[in-house]
Amino acid sequence: MKLYDYILSPSCYKVRLMAALTGVTLDIRPVDFHPGAEHKGAELLALNPAGSIPIFVDGDLILTESSAILVYLAAKAAPEWLAVASAEEAARVQQWLSFSGRLTASLGGARLTEMLLRPGDIGALQAQGVLALRELEAGLVEQSLRGMRFLAANRLTVADIACFPYVALAPDGGVSLDPYPAIRLWSRALRGLDHFIEMPGIHRLHELKPEPHIEAGEA
C-alpha cells in the first residue's frame, strides 16, 4: 500500500495517522507539493487527474479521497473503526465523513492562504471554518450527553480521524480553538492514544511522559 504523501498536508496525515493507529505499514512516497508543485506534474496527474494529494495505490486500486482511504484501511485492518453496529452509527459515520469535506474547504483553505500564500478570501474561509467548528462542537456536546466520547460512537471511528487534522490545525489558518471546549477535550483524547503520531503544527502532549530526572552536566 503506497501513499503519495506531503508532510504538511492534513489530508495525507489522516492516512498516516489511521495507519499508525491500526498498525498498517505504508510505503510512503514523499511528494514535493510546496514549493515544487509535483502533484501538478505528469507522473502524479497520471494517477490523479484532479492534481490533489493524497494518492493511495494498492494493486490496481487508486484512491484519491482521504475518506475513502480511511474506509479502505479500516475495512482491511480494523473493521471496528467503521461502526456499523446500528443504523444510527453507520449514518453518523457518513455524516461526519461528508462534513470533513467542509473542514477541508474552510479551515484547510484558510490554512493554505495564511501559511503557503495560496489565493483565497481569507475572511470568508475563516468565517466558514468557525461555522463548521461550531457544528462539530455541538455534535460533540450532544454525543457526550448520550454517553458517547467520539463523533459517531462510544469508540473511535474513521469519522474522528477524518475530522481531527483540519480541526487541530485550525490555528494555522488564524482560527482559534479557544471557544470550543468539547473539541479541545476530544482532540486531547485523540492525541493521547497509544501509537498516535503528530504532524507539524500539532505538538506533543508532554504530560504523557513523567517529569524526567535531570542532573546538571548529564545532557
Q: Are 92 and 100 contacting, i.e. CB atoms less than 8 angstroms apart?
A: no
- Could you give the string, one character per residue 12-41, with x where binding to other proteins holds by CB under 8 A and - elsewhere? ------------------xxx-xxx-x---
207 near other proteins (CB under 8 A): yes
Choice between 194 and 211, CB closer to other proteins: 211
Q: Are 134 and 175 contacting, i.e. CB atoms less than 8 angstroms apart?
A: no
142 near other proteins (CB under 8 A): yes
User: Within 10 Å of residue 219's Cβ, how many Cβ atoms?
Assistant: 5
119 near other proteins (CB under 8 A): no
How many Å apart are CA 120 and CA 134, to the nearest integer?
22
Distances (CA, A) of 6 to 21, 30, 31, 167: 19, 6, 5, 18
- Could you give the string, one character per residue 50-89, with x where binding to other proteins holds by CB under 8 A and - elsewhere? ----------------------------------------
Choice between 101 and 201, CB closer to other proteins: 201
Q: Which stretch binds other proteins (CB under 8 A): 68-76, 97-105, 157-165, 197-205?
A: 197-205
Choice between 77 and 201, CB closer to other proteins: 201
How many Å apart are CA 204 and CA 200, to the nearest integer?
10
Min dist. Cβ of residue 211 to other proteins (A): 5
Choice between 105 and 122, CB closer to other proteins: 122
Instruction: Pick one of 47, 57, 68, 171: the residue that binds other proteins (CB under 8 A).
Output: 171
- Residue count of the chain: 219
Q: Which stretch binds other proteins (CB under 8 A): 40-48, 77-85, 96-104, 175-183?
A: 175-183
Ranges within 86-115 binding other proteins (CB under 8 A)? 114-115
How many Å apart are CA 63 and CA 119, to the nearest integer?
27
Instruction: Pick one of 25, 60, 87, 209: the residue that binds other proteins (CB under 8 A).
Output: 209
Binding region for other proteins (CB under 8 A): 6-8, 30-32, 34-36, 38, 114-117, 134, 137-138, 141-142, 145-147, 171-172, 174, 178-179, 181-182, 200-201, 203-207, 209-219
